[in-house]
Every structure is written in structure tokens, then in C-alpha cells.
Amino acid sequence: MFDSLFVTTSGVGAGSGGGIVSYNIVKALKECSDLKLILCNGTSDLARSININPSSWGLVDNPFLYDYLASQLVVKVDLAHFRGDPFGVTVDKLRKLNKDVKIVVDVPAHNLEVSVEEFYRLGLEYPFKHMIDRKLWKIYIKHVIDADVIITPSTLSKEYITNSDKFVGFKGEIKVIPHGCDLPERVVYINEDAVGYMGALGPDKGFIYLLHAIKNLDVKLFIAGSQSSYIRVNDPDVDKKIFRLGYVKDVSEFYNNINVYVQPSVTEGFGIEVLEAMSYGRPVIVTQGTGAKDLVEDGKNGFIVPIRDSKAIAEKIQYFIDNPSEIIRMGHNARLTAEKYTWDVIREKYIDVYRELGL
């Protein structure tokens, strides 16, 4: 059995998509290795853990400080799995402790250029300087370039990493492992026209196009996530259709209030909420910029629409309003799809990657 380490800028556990993914990576590591340490944003009861959020150390919240703190805390291991950026200094430290250490990095990459473009289209300044400054990006992404394996959740992400000059120099292997889901015991439908969106509300999430889509529809829109309580819509006709749930501890509180899930992202590495919705037997409407479209068969378990196309989103929502039996049919197929991507299945795929490294 080999020794391992997990390092992430997210939490480890429920509360965010990144936290759920990190939790299951940790469980995979524990199944096949001696997990020595977790370095994360917060703590975990799965193994010895240390909080590397700079603010918890009395420092400013800066992504590069995560790397500095992690580099001071790592221990000698055979494999280190990273989720988040940047960790170049930490990888260098690990290789000084063990020149043969294997580095695996999760990269849920979205199209950075499209993301920046969307901010500018909406008249906003792109706030993440380290993502667009050439010198800072080189430091930010160093641990990815130095990795033995990149794990990415979608073919969209893999294509971007493969073709973008942002990742020039990477010589390892890229593996596509989608995110997973937990299956609820029962699927319950509601007798009303209600769609939903869960997650962050940044410009590249495309939420504005969903708002435009429902303007002339007789439908309710449920939104959930920590930012959802604060969204303000100037159009009163749209605002009255919106039901803000805020952060939901139990996601069933959200999915059981809707019949159709919409992921309107302009660019998205995956979109774990899409798979969650499918596990609840909800048909989904996703854009071509959403990585989770890998799981969507158009007209069978949902629909795939162009990015930035409110009209196309509206047409698909109206289709479900006009054909309620299709919600049941496509929802049933969505659930069957989700059953192929439970976390038990996905964790085995991670373990296969570790074994292929010869550990």
C-alpha cells in the first residue's frame, strides 16, 4: 500500500460542488492507500487535516498563499492528488522529499477566453488577474504542467486543455472522469410548471440568459445556492416568477420543487448539478458550453441548446409545459443515466488511475 496526500483549495464535504468532489477523491484515496494528510479549506474527519485557508492564519485571502502554506506542511508520500490552483511550490517541495512522487491533478477546466469575453460583453471587468496575466498564469498553472496525470470531468475540458496554449508543456496523460452523484430513494414529481437553477451566479454561468428565457413564459423559476438570496431583477414581471431558496443543506428541498433543470452556462467544466438533477429524475436543458452535456442525449433525457441563446432555452421549457408526459419519460431516462454515474462507480475510476501509475 502506498502513502498519499490530498491538497485542495475547497472544503472536503457537502456544501459545494468542489467539496463533494474532494470528499469522494479522499474516499478513493483511503480505499487504496495510506492517506497521510489532507490540506484543505477547513477540516475533515476522514483523515488528519490542516486548514490552509490563508485567512485562518491571519493572512489575506490570496490563492498563492494556499500554495505557500501547503508547501510548509506537506509530508513525504508516494502520490499527491491536487484539486485547485496554484500548487507549483508545493509540488517542488514534494519532489525534494521524494523524487519519484506521482502527481495527479484534477482540472475542471472551462474555456477561459470565453469566460473573459462574457464579462466584457456584460460591461464588467474580469476580476481574476492571475488568470489573464501571462506571468502570473505561468506560476498559477505550474503544478498542472508538472503533473503525471490530469483528471478532467468532461470531453469539453479535455479538448480545451489539449488545444489551448494555456497548457503548453504538459507531457502527461489526460483522463476524463465525470463527477458522480448519490441516488435519492424516491423520485417525486410536482403538478406545476417549475424549472430550476442551482449554483454560482457569475457572468459565465449564463444565468442572465435563463432570466430572459422565462420573461414570456408562464413558469416558476426556483434558484438555490448561497448567492441566490441576493439576486435582484429589475423587471417586475420576471421577478415575481423567481423563488429564491438560498443555501439548501438538503438538495432534495430544491430538486423536489422543480420538474426541469436548466444549466445555461456560457462555459462550464462540468456542472455537477446537472447530474444531481438527473438522479432526481429531472430532464435537463444544458448548453453546448456545459461539460455535463456528455451525459445528455438530446430528446431522450434532456436537450442541448446553443450558448447565449435565451430563445432556445425558452422553446425547450415551453416544450415541457406543452408536453408534461415528456417530463416523466425524459426524467425516467435521466434517472437511468444517473445510475451509471454513482459515486461508488466514479471512485473506482480514480482508483484505477492510481493503480495505472504503478503504485
Question: CATH number, domain at 276?
Answer: 3.40.50.2000
* Residue 85 and residue 62 in contact, taking contact as beta carbons nearer than 8 Å: no
Q: What cell was used for 104?
A: 495527479
- 261-272: per-residue pLDDT in tens? 999 999 999 999
- Kindly state whether residue 189 falls inside one of the protein's structural domains: no
Cis peptide before 203 (omega within 30 of 0): no
Same domain, 236 and 101: no
* HSE-up of residue 171 (Cα within 13 Å, Cβ side): 2
Q: In this model, does residue 320 exceed pLDDT 90? A: yes
Same domain, 207 and 246: yes
Same domain, 333 and 349: no
Average per-residue pLDDT in the chain? 95
Same domain, 11 and 143: yes
Same domain, 122 and 148: yes
Same domain, 157 and 39: yes
List the helix and strand counts (H, then E) for the chain.
15, 13
Same domain, 83 and 162: yes
Same domain, 174 and 230: no
Q: What cell was used for 115?
A: 469566460
Same domain, 294 and 313: yes
Q: What is the reported pLDDT for 225?
A: 87
- 32-71: per-residue pLDDT in tens? 999 999 999 999 999 999 999 999 999 998 999 999 999 9
Same domain, 279 and 167: no
- Kindly state whether residue 306 falls inside one of the protein's structural domains: yes
Positive or negative torsion for Cα 220, 223, 229, 234: negative
Same domain, 198 and 326: yes
- 134-174: per-residue pLDDT in tens? 999 999 999 999 999 999 999 999 999 999 999 999 999 99
- Kindly state whether residue 148 falls inside one of the protein's structural domains: yes
CA 173-177-181 angle, 5° bins: 165
Domain extent for 302: 194-338
- 198-251: per-residue pLDDT in tens? 998 889 999 999 999 999 999 999 999 887 767 778 888 898 999 999 989 889
Task: Provide the number of structural domains found in the chain.
Answer: 2
Q: For the chain, give the percent of residues with pLDDT over 70.
A: 100
More confident residue, 327 or 226: 327
What strands, in cross-sheet order, belong to the sheet with 260-263? 242-246, 220-224, 194-198, 260-263, 284-287, 302-305
